[in-house]
Every structure is written in structure tokens, then in C-alpha cells.
Structure 1
Amino acid sequence: MKHVRIGGYGPGIVTVGGGLTRVTAASFLAAHPTLPVLYAVGELERGWLTAYEVRGADLAPLDERPSEGDSPCHVAVDPEGGLLAVANYGDGTATLYRLDERGVFAGDPIVLRHTGSGPVAGRQEGPHAHQAVFHEGLVHVSDLGTDEIRRYRRDGTPLEPIALAPGTGPRHFAFAGSRLYVAGELDGTVTLIDGERRTVVRASRREGDNAPSHLQLHGDLVYVANRGPNTISVLRAADLSPVAEVPSGGDWPRHFAIDGDRVYVANQYANTVTTFRLKDGVPEPDGEAYEVESPACVLIM
């Protein structure tokens, strides 16, 4: 049976229909691909990672390690389940940990530090790692501070990064085969990179400032959460043409998760996770919402 787990800046990880697992600043959660193990960041100046055994609706601590950086904001596990990556926003460090057969941390971390900056004053004074994604045997890390998708081999060997337009501020991103989709937090855009072709569109068609947060592919559509307009945009994956833009059900949609035909949106400033049904790919409110203090991530597992 699947459960909805919600992380954020409240007292801990909330399991809908279950209880509260107390942990500080668990702003992002990830699931092991084959084991009943959940990983949470502790978004602190001295960042932390915790592994939990999933026992139905309950979580039991398994192991913990430092994130080796400042303010970890994202964690991911490779599809084979043997490697974990964490992105530390504060200082831009990305860190890799080997995982053993139980899903706990094994050996010394591989610490990937970075340098660089961008043109946006106050936001791009240095590197700011924001998300880690495993794709085609490589680790990809978005860097809001340097306008890059950094690339590494699994042993930490750096490769040539994918450069984005200055001031993009890449946050979350996703691959579909050779295509790369990137949400630009600082310029309010979505970028599609397909070989030599690049398409850039506004993430929201609403007036005013927009700081896109999470981006996810589902079928032949791209979904983007827009903070400021407080909407979810639906775009065609082929060319980023607009399909729909709907209210997120609250204030400051930090993250969302899609599970089948349901969408769960973490509206951070509204202290709610609002649920939707997909109808022809467009989210429609289903009247349900969960009260959660400062939600920042939704994980279905």
C-alpha cells in the first residue's frame, strides 16, 4: 500500500493516515528504487542525511551521515539503488554516497565542490546546487548560481557541464531520452534542449514575478509549479506550447508529486498540500487538502 509522505520545515515528516516522524528541516525526500527505505535531507548549515526503514505508515531510523555541505535541498538515488546523490544549496557542494544491500550508507563520501557565479546580484554570487538527477549512467546537478547543469561520472569525475543562458538560475529539471527540460527560477522560464535546438518559454502566462520551482514530465506533458502566480502550468513536451495553467490551491507551490491520475501540490506558505485529479492531463481540484506546516516536498511510496 502506498502512503503520501510530506517533508518540509515543520516538526518533521508527515505520513498521511499515519503519524509524524520528528526530524529537523526535512525539506526533500527520496525513495530507494527497490527497498523499503526513505532518505531525507536536513536542510541546515551543517547539512545532514537520514535513512529510514519504511514499516507501513511508520518510519524507523536506519542510518545518518553529514551531507558534506551547507543546506542540502535535494536527494536522489540511482535506478540500480547503489548510489545516492545530494545537492547542497548553500555552498554548491554535491555529494555521492555508496549504498549497501540494505540501503544504508557505505564507505566515504565523494565530495564534488564547484566554483563560478552568475549575473544576478544577491542570488548568483557563487555556486548553488539545487537538484541531482541520474541519467544514462551520469550524475547531473543543476547549479542555480552558475547557470549550469553540472555532469559527473559515478566515481565523481567531472565532465563538461551543460551551459544555460546567463541569469536562468536552473532549479529542477528532467530528461526524456535525449531531451532536457529545465525550470529557470531566476528568469521564470522553461528551457527545452534537444541536441543543438533550444526552446525557451515563460513558465507562466500570468503577469508579475515568477520563481518556478518543481518541473516534472508525465506522459507527453511537462508540469511546472509557479511561485508568485501560484499556479501549475501544463506544457506539451514536444515544443513547450501551452496546454493549461491552473491555480495551485494555495500560496507558493514549492513541489508536487504525480501518482497515476492524482497530483499532490505542496503550497509552502499556505501550510497545505492540495490534491487534484488529472483530466485529459489537466489538474482539476478534487476538494481534498492536508494541513501540514510549511510543506516543501511530497513523496508517494
Structure 2
Amino acid sequence: MDDDAVAFWLGSYTPGADGAGDGTGVGVRALGREESGGLVPIADVEADSPSWVVQHPTLPVVYAAEEFSGFVVAFRASPDGTLTPLGDPVEVGGIVCHLTVASRGDALIASCYGDGRVVVLALAPDGSLFRTPVELAPAVDPYVVPTSATLARGGLLLPDSATDPTEPASTDVDPRQSRAHTSRWLSDGRLATTDLGFDLVRFWRRGSSSTAPLVLDHEVTLPRGVGPRHLAWHESGHLHVVTEYSIEVFTLRAGHDGRFSVVAGVEATSDGAQDGDSAAELTVVGSREHLHTSVRGSDRISTLQIRGDGSELRAVGDVDSGGAVPRHHAEDGGVLHVANQGSGTIDSFEIDERTGVPARRVGRVEVGSPTCLTPASVAGGATGERATAAPATE
């Protein structure tokens, strides 16, 4: 292995953090590849439970969401994996759990699970954070207040007994809470975000001023209680959404008017969900013919085949994640790296080229409460030809 070749940045839960004192991570780590295909730590920098990390699309700058403190921090990356602070941390909201950087490198989006905030941070030319975050329009529960959202209907997508979000529920004795969870830039320049608490996928377009950098375009309402968590974009023009609570994958497609709606929905596992399961990550395999989902509880990686025009999904196989609580995973050419938070390991598997299913394990490394893997690219230490994961274009 070339010790200077940084392949991934790793986020983690650390000890003593507010609300997460049982973490065993060390902050943000730089990881390199072993000849076997597994990963190995190179360097690290202290941070307070940086549960999500992402890199600037063109600069050697890494951003981390310090989940429980509510801060976003920026680091400048060196080719050897060393990270040094770049500017001051910026507070964005309660339980910040996800970050996305626009492909033009001018803005960072932070999703806050604790208070439901979706926040835009402008980025300076050197990648540093401007100190004034802009909060986007807050989500409203479509099952309580009338909305013009699109409703998924029929069969698996929405039982006949479900509440119609266009009809306000007047007897909701258990008010729900907004839980912003993820964001993803789409190929047409719009941004998609999920609200896990309100079962919403929200779509934003660029605004005309710094005080309104993004404006709400439209929303898609999923069945009540499914919990949309993460998003994966497929080149066929379909947006796939994995649901944390119902363990399903919903497929959305834009119509001629540009508005997305649900066109399909399937169970995320071939063997069915088990009691206590919750889905975590969703990714498109490099071949573009399969999806991978991670399921905590039963600790599986599930593979779904993509068929037809890209909207047809079929779960084809479930395999053990190699550890406990697979919170996140990332493909690295023909290898799938699984961040098993509960066992404190990254377990790496060859992907069967024909079926897309993770097969032989090629590596395992103990890293302490891993939560997020993101591809690295630094001067003199780019991700290399094997890496296939990349941010969505804008």
C-alpha cells in the first residue's frame, strides 16, 4: 500500500460527546487501501462525534458534522491525510446528521435531525465556511395541515386506510416532529431533501438572493410512518429513497412538468424485514444495475436489481454485513466497504459482478464507532482509478 494514498475519509462517534458518550471513535480519519482491497487508517484529527463527513468537489477541504454539538467544521487536507482546521466552526442546528456540497462548490447543505432544520452555508473561494447560515422553509406535517404535495397511492405505496394529506387530521393526539435527514443535488441543479419525521421528500430550486439561496419547488408525500432516510440517484432519471422504518425503497421520477412523483415501491430486502430492523444507507452499484441497502438490527446488506427503464427494482439477495449495526457503506470499484458502527469495524467485500451481491470478505479493520465513509481526493493522493463513488452533478 502507498501510505500517502488517501482513499476515504471516515466519520465516527467519539467518547464523551453530549448524547453519545459511548462512542469509541477518534474523530475524522484518513483511510488508505490495502493490497487485498480492505482499508487501513493513515491519520486522524480530533472532532466531537463527526458522524457525517464530505469533501469539497474541487478543493482539498473536508467538512464534518459534529452531530451532538450542532456545529459544522472545515479542515484543509494534505496528501498524507493530515487534516488541519480551516476557519471557525459554525453552529447550524440540533443533531446535525448530514452534509452535502454543491458541485459548483459555493454552498454546503446541513440537515438537522434534532430540530428539522435544513440550512445553507455559503462557501468562500478557499472552501472555508461563511458564518451566517440561512435556514430553508421549515417542513409542515402533510398529514395534519393541507398541502399540495403529491401522494403515493395504491398497493404497497399507500394502504386504503391511510390518511389523505390533503385532508387535515383533526384528532392527531401524537404530534410528530420534523426530522430533516439528508440532501442530494440533482443533475438539473435542484436539491432533494428528506424529512424522516414528516414522511416528505422536498425539492428545491436555486433562489435569486443570498437571503433566499434555495426556494421550495414542490414536495412528495410518502405513506405515513415509513421514514424516508437516504437518497440515491440513478442515471435513468430515477430518484430512489430508502425508508428507515418500513425498510422499503420508493422510486420517484419527474414528469413533463418537472415535478417528481412515486412510480414504484418495493421491500428493501429479499428475505423480509425482521423485528427491530431499521434501514440506513442506499447506494447505486458501479455497474448501475443494482442498489445496495444496509439494514441495522438483523445486520444485513441487501442487493436490489434495477430493471426495465430504471424504475423496476427487485431484491435479489441479503448477506451478513460482517459486523454489527451497518450504519453506512461505500463502493470502491469492485469492493463494498461497510461501516459497522456497533462492532467498530469496517468490513470490506468483493462484489459479485453478475449478481451485485457482496461476496468474499477481503478486509476488516477496527476503527471505533464508524458512521460515514466518503471518497477522498487530495493533491498527490487522489482516490485512484478504482473509486467509483462520486457526488451528484449539478
TM-score tier by shorter-chain length is: over 0.9
Report how many residues are paired: 299
Of the three residues 127, 135, 143, the one matched with 1:103 is: 127
Letter in 2 for 1:143: D
Q: Is the 8 A contact 1:49 1:64 kept in 2?
A: no
Residue 236 of structure 1 pairs with residue 308 of structure 2: no
Q: Is the 8 A contact 2:290 2:303 kept in 1?
A: yes
State the secondary structure of the residue aligned to 1:90. Answer: coil
Residue 186 of structure 1 pairs with residue 245 of structure 2: yes
How far residue 116 of structure 1 moved from its aligned partner, in angstroms, is 3.1
Q: Distance in 2 between matches of 1:14 and 1:289?
A: 16
TM-score calculated relative to the size of structure 2 = 0.71
Residue 270 of structure 1 pairs with residue 343 of structure 2: yes
Cα distance change of structure 1 residues 273 and 129 upon mapping to structure 2, 3 Å threshold: same
Q: Distance in 2 between matches of 1:284 and 1:295?
A: 21
Task: State the Cα deviation string for residues 30-58 of structure 1 (Å, max 9, x = none).
Answer: 011111111100001x4101111110211
State the secondary structure of the residue aligned to 1:105. Answer: coil
Structure 2 equivalent of residue 175 of structure 1: 233
Residue 251 of structure 1 pairs with residue 275 of structure 2: no
Q: Distance in 2 between matches of 1:83 and 1:166?
A: 32
Q: Distance in 2 between matches of 1:165 and 1:191?
A: 10
Q: Distance in 2 between matches of 1:128 and 1:66?
A: 20
Letter in 2 for 1:21: V
Which region of structure 1 is more displaced relative to structure 2, 250-259 or 15-24?
15-24
Residue 198 of structure 1 pairs with residue 263 of structure 2: yes
Cα distance change of structure 1 residues 171 and 5 upon mapping to structure 2, 3 Å threshold: same
Letter in 1 for 2:215: T
Task: State the Cα deviation string for residues 68-92 of structure 1 (Å, max 9, x = none).
Answer: 2101000011111111101011001
Q: How does 1:1-301 map to 2 (within 5 A)?
A: 1-10=5-14, 11-16=26-31, 17-44=41-68, 46-56=69-79, 57-106=81-130, 108-117=132-141, 125-135=176-186, 136-154=188-206, 155-177=213-235, 178-195=237-254, 198-204=263-269, 205-209=271-275, 210-218=277-285, 219-238=288-307, 239-280=312-353, 281-301=356-376
Which region of structure 1 is more displaced relative to structure 2, 154-163 or 265-274?
154-163
Q: Distance in 2 between matches of 1:197 and 1:191?
A: 7
How far residue 266 of structure 1 moved from its aligned partner, in angstroms, is 0.7
Task: State the Cα deviation string for residues 267-290 of structure 1 (Å, max 9, x = none).
Answer: 111111111111212212334111
Consecutive unaligned residues in structure 2, runs of 5 or more: 15-25, 32-40, 144-171, 207-212, 255-260, 377-394
Q: Is the 8 A contact 1:173 1:181 kept in 2?
A: yes
Q: Distance in 2 between matches of 1:64 and 1:159?
A: 32
Cα distance change of structure 1 residues 175 and 160 upon mapping to structure 2, 3 Å threshold: same
How far residue 107 of structure 1 moved from its aligned partner, in angstroms, is 6.1
Q: Is the 8 A contact 2:268 2:315 kept in 1?
A: no
Superposed CA RMSD in Å reads 2.1
Greater RCO (CA < 8 Å, at least 6 residues apart):
2
How far residue 118 of structure 1 moved from its aligned partner, in angstroms, is 7.7
Q: Distance in 1 between matches of 2:344 and 2:57?
A: 29
TM-score calculated relative to the size of structure 1 = 0.92
Q: Distance in 1 between matches of 2:141 and 2:322?
A: 35
Q: Distance in 1 between matches of 2:142 and 2:113?
A: 15
Letter in 1 for 2:326: P
Q: Is the 8 A contact 2:267 2:315 kept in 1?
A: no
Q: Distance in 1 between matches of 2:97 and 2:88?
A: 16
Letter in 1 for 2:303: V
Query: Which is greater in Rg?
Result: 2
Q: Distance in 1 between matches of 2:234 and 2:131?
A: 32
State the secondary structure of the residue aligned to 1:157. Answer: strand
Q: Distance in 1 between matches of 2:360 and 2:74?
A: 33
Q: Distance in 1 between matches of 2:91 and 2:203?
A: 19
How far residue 124 of structure 1 moved from its aligned partner, in angstroms, is 7.3
Q: Distance in 2 between matches of 1:146 and 1:227?
A: 22
State the secondary structure of the residue aligned to 2:197. Answer: coil
Q: Is the 8 A contact 2:107 2:122 kept in 1?
A: yes
Letter in 1 for 2:274: G
Q: Is the 8 A contact 1:117 1:124 kept in 2?
A: no
